[in-house]
Amino acid sequence: MNTQINVRIPQKLLSSVRSYSDEHGYGSVQDFIKETIREKLFDEPEISKEELALVKKLADLTEKKKLYGTERELFSKLRRR
């Protein structure tokens, strides 16, 4: 048995959700929200908090030593590998 709930969100956010839902093939905003909740609750993260912290430290150090210029440039180079 399913239970219905009501959620209030700002109009701007709802517009973004509708656009995203349409562009990514969701049947409705409700379908998108249910899938998003499932992902948040049950899917394993691709990267752990510890790994993310290490990447952030690497990015900060690399930027500080001017090895790639900015964090964005560093991540751009990392994505190409």
Print pLDDT tens along the chain (81 aa). 889 999 999 999 999 999 999 999 999 999 999 999 998 888 776 777 888 888 888 888 877 887 776 777 767 777 776
pTM: 0.51
Residue 37 sits in the same domain as residue 22: yes
Give the per-residue pLDDT at 69: 67
Residue 54 sits in the same domain as residue 32: no
Domain total in the chain: 2
Give the per-residue pLDDT at 76: 78
Give CA–CA dist 53/47, Å, rounded: 10
Amino acid at 70: T
Give CA–CA dist 25/31, Å, rounded: 10
**How does DSSP classify residue 8?**
-
Determine the structural domain holding residue 26 and report its residue range.
11-42
66 lies in some domain? yes
Residue 34 sits in the same domain as residue 54: no
Residue 53 sits in the same domain as residue 38: no
1 lies in some domain? no
